[in-house]
Amino acid sequence: MSPSRPYAHVAADGVTRVFGSRRHNRLVAVDAVSVEIDSTSMIGIVGESGSGKSTLARLLVGLDRPTSGTVLYGGRGLDLLSRSAWKDFRREVQIVAQDTSSSFDPRRSLRDAVRLPAVQLCGLGTAEADARVDRTLELLGVPPALAQRRPGEVSGGQRQRFALARALVVEPRLLVCDEVVSALDVSVQGTILNLLKRYCRENEAGLVFVSHGLPATAFIADRLVVMHRGRIVEQGATTDLLDAPAHPYTAALLQAHHGRPPGGRRDAVLPDPARESWACRYAPSCPRAVDTCRTERPPLADHAGRTVACHVPVDAPLLAGAGAGGPR
Ligand SMILES: Nc1ncnc2c1ncn2[C@@H]1O[C@H](COP(=O)(O)OP(=O)(O)OP(=O)(O)O)[C@@H](O)[C@H]1O
Ligand SMILES: [Mg+2]
């Protein structure tokens, strides 16, 4: 914990978010997820498209409310925060949302957009706020003249930097970045990632980096949270997960990025619709599925220095005489 800046801690405790209704397209986007983030850690949330990463990110920063479960800030439920504690939360925990194109007022200059939270959340006067905006833009390598433009008059990459500036201008303790580099050229991606890393180190801020891109996430995050169909399937130190993934889904994700299966083995199979109703949501695509995966939802449990939700983790022997015809 930093002695100079207060510690910030946000925890999702058994959080579920359901969209639709029982009759209409009911979808459990986030399913009983517990995760902790704080101002001392760099965490990556990875998973394929639709796995619930953005929904979880929005829940963690209070932009959306869970259907059940609680999000806690400093140990208190977001619902129970006083007006001033809620204001502190909004200043200390910032998000750069996935789609920045619609998050700017098209009629106002980018400078106005970046200045607004400095005034509203930090209570700065105009001169102070302007100085803060200039410092933040300089830090992000944005030419000040660009800030006079409107959101529609700059490129996507430039707008992304303004979205970052708008989050950083209030000097948050925790920054949640949702797919902030996915749409950018690889060279620009590197610049932004290095910048974020440096910013967090120098300003004692924590980072939650949400992305379906494993290489960028692994570069920036010390710890990874792997999501699959709304659930956390594996969580641990980035190096541990990259060196020896324990959940078959993590292994498949890594293989997809390496382009070839390590050791020539293929760890994902074509989805089997007959397994859609199984308790483990990865079972339809899992080469290691056993009968227990049909009936029992695998709990997140300690395993090889990380937590894994799998009855048959990758480094565990396949269960002898497994049901459902045994592992495929
Ligand atoms: N407001 C909403 N109404 C209905 N369904 C939603 C809503 N927001 C998200 N979903 C659904 O919830 C699931 C999870 O979506 P989410 O955006 O969290 O996934 P993601 O992991 O961020 O995906 P991506 O990598 O494509 O950004 C998806 O099936 C999505 O269609
Ligand atoms: Mg998303």
Q: Is residue 52 part of a domain?
A: yes
Where among 228, 253, 283 does a domain terminate? 228
Q: Who wins on pLDDT, 29 or 98?
A: 29
Q: Which of 62-71, 83-92, 142-151, 182-191 has the lowest mean pLDDT?
A: 182-191
What is the phi-psi region of residue 115: left when phi exceeds 0, alpha when psi lies from -120 to 50, beta otherwise? alpha
CA atoms 64, 66, 232, 19: torsion sign? negative
Residues 71, 32, single domain; the answer is yes
Q: Which two tokens stand for residue 193?
A: 């990632």
Residues 265, 213, single domain; the answer is no
- Host domain of residue 258: 244-328
**Residue 287: closest CA among 262, 258, 265, 309:** 265
CB-side neighbour CA atoms (13 Å) of 291: 8
The pLDDT tens digits for 19-65 are 998 777 899 999 999 999 999 999 999 999 999 999 999 999 999 99
Share of the chain above pLDDT 70, in %: 91
Residues 156, 35, single domain; the answer is yes
Atom 30 of ligand 1, residue of closest alpha carbon: 50
pLDDT of residue 318: 65
pLDDT of residue 149: 97
Q: Is residue 2 part of a domain?
A: no
DSSP codes of every residue in 117-182: HHHHTT---HHHHHHHHHHHHHHTT--GGGGGS-GGGS-HHHHHHHHHHHHHTT--SEEEEESSST
Q: How many structural domains are present in the chain?
A: 2
Any atom of ligand 1 within 6 Å of the Cβ of 285: no
Query: How far is 301 from 56, CA to CA, in rounded Å?
Result: 21
Q: Is residue 148 part of a domain?
A: yes
Query: How far is 110 from 112, CA to CA, in rounded Å?
Result: 5
Residues 142, 68, single domain; the answer is yes
pLDDT of residue 4: 65
Residues 26, 150, single domain; the answer is yes
Query: How far is 95 from 45, CA to CA, in rounded Å?
Result: 14
State in Å: Cα 30 to ligand 1 middle.
9
DSSP 8-state symbol, 306 = E
State in Å: Cα 40 to ligand 1 middle.
28
Contact 120, 112 (CB under 8 A): no
Q: Is residue 235 part of a domain?
A: no
Q: Is residue 233 part of a domain?
A: no
Determine the atom of ligand 1 nearest the C-alpha atom of 20. Answer: 4
pLDDT band at 266 (very low <50, low <70, confident <90, very high): low
The pLDDT tens digits for 195-214 are 999 999 999 999 999 998 89
Q: What is the mean pLDDT of residues 81-86?
A: 94
Any atom of ligand 1 within 6 Å of the Cβ of 229: no
Query: How far is 93 from 95, CA to CA, in rounded Å?
Result: 7
Query: How far is 64 from 3, CA to CA, in rounded Å?
Result: 32
Residues ≥6 apart with Cβ < 8 Å to 271: 284, 285
The pLDDT tens digits for 302-324 are 999 999 999 999 986 665 544 34
Name the pTM for this structure. 0.92
Q: Is residue 239 part of a domain?
A: no
pLDDT of residue 183: 78
Q: What is the mean pLDDT of residues 231-241?
A: 97
The CATH code of the domain that includes 48 is 3.40.50.300
Residues 224, 302, single domain; the answer is no
Average pLDDT, the chain: 90
